[in-house]
Amino acid sequence: MLKPMLACCKIYISESRNKAALKAIERAAKLCSEARIVNKYEDETYNRVGYTLVSKLRPSSSLDSCPLKDAALAMVATAFKNIDFDTHSGTHPRLGVVDHICFHPLANTSLEQTANVAKSLASDVGKILEVPTYLYGAAHENGRTLDSIRRELGYFSPNIQGNVWAGGLKSQDLPLAPDEGPSQADSSKGVIVIGTTKWVDNYNVPVFSTNISAVRRIAKRVSERGGGLPAVQAMALVHEEGVIEVACNLLDPQLVGGEKVQDEVERLAVEEGMVAVKGYFTDFSRDKIIKMFLEEGN
């Protein structure tokens, strides 16, 4: 008996407070019965929600009828109908109503296969929904990275006073040409970034502080870019009163996992005269997601 080919995509939507919009997005996903949402992570301070959508892939099927792509496209289209980027605000950076989608191979599936799904979705988002779309990772011909796109589009700089991102993009004109869709952005929708990579864990460590500059120093020293832990990306984000999080992408969890990041943030926090508390993952592990999907399907 052939083992099932499984893949997932993580869909990050710039909204967590509009419950009616989220319910509509979730209903749209359910219209494709072969794909299932196995995790939903909401953060009201960040005003952001992350969905983990999983489906089997068909080895010889056309991408025109791929359940994972179809469900993702339905969720994206519904998000654009129900959320106005111009009225959005939160303490997490974002580039659009649907900020980011990343495909990951899970079981018996290759990176190339998930890249093909990502590229097909990006084409539909660009042509059908008419939203500027950027590709990264294995979905991009040169393997462009997610953070490089974000830096060129100003993702990491709060766009109003303080540490808050609010409203749509400052200009319809984009400093980086999209891979799909129009060359200008509708401020009510923004842009979307779609890619595919090996599995990534997201791990956030709260630090008791109001000194964003100091916690940014910690985040930089934790990240590979700042000479810290390999395969770790990190940024400092105001989360709640008196708490700033070091939000980390663990690009190779087998090499550097949450425990190593936790230890390093705690050590650096002490050097800054601060206290870091136990962090948390925003999703289940890859193995847990596979198990949950297969068990729920029985």
161 and 215 housed in the same domain: no
- Per-residue pLDDT band for 169 (boundaries 50, 70, 90) equals confident
pLDDT for res 62: 57
pLDDT for res 1: 56
Is 59 inside a domain boundary? yes
138 and 192 housed in the same domain: yes
Is 270 inside a domain boundary? yes
98 and 158 housed in the same domain: yes
Is 18 inside a domain boundary? yes
The CA-based dihedral angle spanning residues 197, 58, 289, 293, taken in that order and rounded to the nearest 10 degrees: 160
Q: Which residues are catalytic?
A: 92
Q: How many domains is the chain built from?
A: 2
Residues 195 and 138 sit within 8 Å (Cβ to Cβ): yes
pTM of the model: 0.95
Instruction: Give, in order, the Cα–Cα distances in Å from 157 to each of 93, 165, 166, 250.
Output: 8, 8, 11, 22
pLDDT for res 296: 81
Question: What mean pLDDT comes out for the span 90-99?
Answer: 96
Give the domain CATH number at 37.
Answer: 3.30.990.10
Is 245 inside a domain boundary? yes
228 and 88 housed in the same domain: no
Q: What is the pLDDT of residues 209-257, one digit of tens each?
A: 999 999 999 999 999 999 999 999 999 999 989 999 999 999 999 999 9
Q: Residue 65: pLDDT above 90?
A: no
109 and 223 housed in the same domain: no
Is 286 inside a domain boundary? no
Please give the Cα distance from 29 to 35 (Å, whole number). 7
Range of the structural domain that residue 232 is part of: 201-281
Q: Residue 60: pLDDT above 90?
A: no
Count the residues in the chain.
Answer: 298
111 and 25 housed in the same domain: yes
